[in-house]
Amino acid sequence: MLIPFNKPYLPLSSIRYMIQAALSGTIAGDGKYTALCHRFFEEQFGFRKVLLTTSCTDALEMAAILTDIRPGDEVILPSFTFMSTANAFLLRGARLVFCDTLADVPNIDPDGIEALITPRTRVLVVVHYSGLACEMDRIMAIASKHNLLVVEDAAHAMEAYYKDEPLGSIGHLGAFSFHETKNIIAGEGGMLAINHEPFLERAEIIWEKGTDRAAFHRGEVEAYTWLDIGSSFLPSDGMAAFLYAQIKRFRKIQRQRKWIWWEYHERLAFLEEQGCLCRPVIPRDATVNGNMFYITLSDRLQRDTLLDHLNLNGIQAVFHYFPLHASPYFKEKHDGRELPNTRRFSDTLLRLPFYYSMGKREIAYIVEKIREFFTSTPAASPVEPEPPAFRPRFPEPVAQPRRSL
């Protein structure tokens, strides 16, 4: 059996909507399907305003412009993330200050943030890894105390929640991805959620190359002109039409992906009980959105050996991420602090195949091959599911109220 890491869900209606977009005579950006997608996300999740982008990278770059990052400003972010999270702010001249993750969840550790704040700090960037929520009450309280802006990298977090609030709606800005590995896809594609009143008007101008062209198309101005910096962040309406086909099946897609997540979770329970691996820890006040499923192993050797074993059996698994602070590009710029939890997740985390059309047969085969690895490989030593050093998850909420956006 051959099981790819990802297999995009491509309903036939995608082609129909894209043809309709082309026949409309307006396949460039900000057309009919762009508006339909915007309306869905604003109504479904209560975002103040959303703007589709050509990628999550573009959404993050818009966030860096909106937060007015300038050379020398400091941005605190996790090292355990995709390089786009860092690049967006680095391109504006920011000094990146990397924070370690929690011990049991690969999300930024709020306990480590405050010690990194200086008079130059402007923005906190949080990444909801695999759609599991960061501790947003504590993070927003820290941001409020120090007058900082919060950007949520919600690339993994479509329809994920923290205390009934959609991820991407809690910080001042939220960036989403519609890459082909995400819950709903457009091949590439992304979206910026704007939750902060002062950013609403400027975001659209930056989105349209620094002009008020969108307002002109709505008949609000007689001609459009250059008002601010910006770029061509908006996608074609053809891409929006492709995404709209996914939106029309959103509930169906989400039901299936959540089922896959819980099927993995239940079938791998016995291996965790035996100390062979660890399944994802679901933080209190967080939800599962079916973005991905990962396991962690005892060390890098065991992870890499299992990866080879799965690949030899036709199962395409992958690992995530190489720490940004130790990357060839950034290691000489890093301040030298050790980030042990980041390093441990980088060395031990393994992502399993995950896509809409997976069924019980594929999941059972993957779990069987993982079991086979632990029963036939002498080097596959057990892991401690929860080391005693782990602190309790989610302490009492901070008394300071969340900053008003």
Q: How would residue 379 be classed by pLDDT, with cut points 50, 70 and 90? A: low
| pLDDT of 181 strictly over 70 | yes
What residues does CATH 3.40.640.10 cover in the chain?
13-247
- List the strands of the sheet with 294-296, edge to edge: 294-296, 349-351, 318-319
Q: What are the residues whose beta carbons fall under 8 Å from the beta carbon of 259, sequence distance 6 or more?
A: 290
Cα distance between residue 184 and residue 159, in whole Å = 10
| pLDDT of 396 strictly over 60 | no
Q: How would residue 320 be classed by pLDDT, with cut points 50, 70 and 90? A: confident
Q: Out of 3.90.79.10, 2.40.30.20, 3.40.640.10, 3.40.50.970, which CATH number does the structure's domain 13-247 have? A: 3.40.640.10
pLDDT tens readout for residues 132-143: 999 999 999 999
Cα distance between residue 82 and residue 13, in whole Å = 31
Cα distance between residue 326 and residue 312, in whole Å = 30
Q: Which range among 11-15, 219-223, 322-326 has the greatest average pLDDT?
A: 322-326
Q: How high is the pLDDT of residue 26?
A: 79
Kindly tell me the burial class for residue 384, based on how many C-beta atoms sit within 10 Å of its own C-beta (0-12, 13-18, 19 or more): exposed
| pLDDT of 389 strictly over 70 | no
What residues does CATH 3.90.1150.10 cover in the chain?
251-376
Q: How high is the pLDDT of residue 387?
A: 40
Q: Looking at the domain 251-376, which fold is it?
A: Aspartate Aminotransferase, domain 1 (3.90.1150)
pLDDT tens readout for residues 215-249: 998 899 999 999 999 999 999 999 999 999 999 99
Q: How high is the pLDDT of residue 56?
A: 98
pLDDT tens readout for residues 49-104: 999 999 999 999 999 999 999 999 999 999 999 999 999 999 999 999 999 999 99
Q: How high is the pLDDT of residue 129?
A: 98
Residue 190 sits at φ, ψ, to 5 deg, of -160, -170
Q: How high is the pLDDT of residue 381?
A: 52
Q: How high is the pLDDT of residue 256?
A: 98
pLDDT tens readout for residues 253-310: 999 999 999 999 999 999 999 999 999 999 999 999 999 999 999 999 999 999 999 9
Is the pTM for the entire model greater than 0.85?
yes
